[in-house]
Amino acid sequence: MTRKIQIYDTTLRDGAQGEGVSFSLQDKLNITQRLAEFGIDYIEGGYPLSNEKDVAFFERVRHLNLGQSKVCAFGMTRRRGMKAQDDPGMKAMVNAGAPVCTVVGKSWDFHATEVLGVSLEENLAMIGESVEFLGQSCAIIYDAEHFFDGFKANADYALKAICTAAAAGARCIALCDTNGGTLPNEVQEIVTAAKLALAKYSVDVGIHCHNDGELACANSLAAVAAGCAQVQGTINGLGERCGNADLISVMANLALKQKGFEVLGGRNLDHLTELSRYVYETANLQLRSNQPFVGQSAFAHKGGMHVHAVAKAAHTYEHLDPALVGNERRILVSELSGRSNIIALTTKHNLQSDRALMDEILAEVVRRENQGYQYEAAEASFDLLVKKCAGSYQEHFQAIKYRILAGDRDAGTHLAFAEAIVKLRVADQERFEAAEGHGPVNALDAALRKCLIEFYPNLQQMHLVDFKVRVVNCDAGTAARIRVNIESSDGHDVWGTIGVSENIIEASWLALVDAVEYKLLKDG
């Protein structure tokens, strides 16, 4: 029989506790909508007592169409010496109006006595009374904080804590590896013991793992194998310290790698990569290229022997079809590549049958890599290199000269300026233009466009998406060779180009020229 596993997302609360992560109110609403469209069972919105943004979130989220997904309000058990109905945190959770409340309580005797400063009996009362009070308004998930450390220290008390929550009416007991230091075999053993203790209650058991030992995903899968029906985590593993269990990997493993489990109501995962990148972009975070399943490098092949094998049987170097998770295979080219890489990348040019040309292209790649070029993120520059080697490249303009002026516009206010002067030959005509910019590269770009726009008006569609600078040989100090990568887009396609020089302006110019040439080339 297929066992359904509930997916509980806490990106908006636990994930937001990660360093460098901050969501606006609209960000939280947008992510909630996207998670619901993806089919996530539970979406934790935040702690309605902690800030005004979370209060506003619960007011506005009621107006979203979330289908079967349920929004959860998060909070702690009542304070010591206070009745649940009088506690501000309890009231805030009720007022949030969410269909589910997730209550976190202490399962470790040391935490109860030394951190909360309450007796073990009072801690149990806080758990039971809080769950019972909130259960009058909504369904309850109880998060047993520090459960695994608590179990190791005092198993009887840790089990009493979760049984107290179950007896008070919790629908699900989530066992939390809060410190993230438990090993998969320990998780399996302790979850088994917890399920046995909870057997007399009609309650699901969940797992909530942190990634401090880089085992959060493995521990979550071990817990599911031991009988857990719910996995809590965050998209892309965002979270405090080393993060939480990455639901991207958890869902992909359960749905595609293990038999007998169903997530998201049986939906396919062909939008998984899109979801991952959406959250990265909304959080204004860099994508993790080596992230399993959805990273740009997850199905990227660089070694020539690997590429040769992938061309014959992809599964020999890929554990699943990248299309299943909405990703794609990438063939990289470098000095480590063989002819197979070049053939794979030049298929669209119909040149693969010319073995001598393939060898010439590979030799040129190796020569340029010795100068500091890398073509993994500069596919457009590589395409231009192929055409140059094949003798089919026709440049759309010739650079005659360029000059940059930069400095302080006003010595008193230190307002900086940058001016670029560019002289080109276009269609047997010479064009000479100047432009200002926010920096030297921006000024160069503006002057280049002014020279070309009359001849190539489609350049108006093109804009710079990303600009990266890397030092190639840092031991040379200020005389080091500089690598500039530029990513450009015209609203339809995105392409990367590269320039290398000891002069950062020249490296930027080379990458800019390639970007413009590629745009004109692809538009025909």
Collapsing DSSP to helix, strand or coil, 83 comes out as: coil
From the centroid of its chain, how far is CA 103? 28
Q: What share of the chain is helix, strand, coil (3-state, %, to 5)?
A: 45, 20, 35
**In the prediction, which pLDDT does 363 show?**
80
- Top pLDDT among 315 and 156 is at 156
Q: What is the mean pLDDT of residues 303-315?
A: 55
Cβ atoms of 116 and 68 within 8 Å: the answer is no
What are the start-end ranges of the H helices in 391-503?
Answer: 440-452
Q: What is the mean pLDDT of residues 191-198?
A: 98
- Top pLDDT among 512 and 437 is at 512
Cβ atoms of 339 and 304 within 8 Å: the answer is yes
**In the prediction, which pLDDT does 510 show?**
92
pLDDT digits (tens, 9 = 90+) for 230-242: 999 999 999 999 9
pLDDT digits (tens, 9 = 90+) for 148-182: 999 999 999 999 999 999 999 999 999 999 999 99
**In the prediction, which pLDDT does 360 show?**
81
Q: What is the mean pLDDT of residues 129-157?
A: 97
C-alpha distances out from residue 132 to 70, 138, 492, Å? 20, 10, 55
Residues 6+ apart with CB under 8 A from 483: 372, 373, 374, 469, 470, 471, 472, 498, 499, 500, 507
pLDDT digits (tens, 9 = 90+) for 353-363: 677 887 787 78
**In the prediction, which pLDDT does 132 show?**
97
CB atoms within 10 A of CB 62: 12
**In the prediction, which pLDDT does 344 show?**
56
Taking the C-alpha atoms of residue 368 and residue 510, their distance in angstroms, rounded to an integer, is 14
Cα Rg, the chain, nearest whole Å: 29
- Top pLDDT among 223 and 284 is at 223
Please state the φ and ψ torsions of residue 224, each to the nearest 5 degrees.
Answer: -65, -40
DSSP string, 499-510: EEESSHHHHHHH
Taking the C-alpha atoms of residue 515 and residue 489, their distance in angstroms, rounded to an integer, is 9
**In the prediction, which pLDDT does 159 show?**
98
What is the pTM assigned to this prediction?
0.72
Query: Across all residues in the chain, what is the average pLDDT?
Result: 88
**In the prediction, which pLDDT does 315 show?**
63
> For the chain, how many residues are written?
524
**Closest among 64, 28, 67 to 46, alpha carbons compared:** 28
Residue in this structure with the two tokens 């009058």, named with its chain if needed: 136
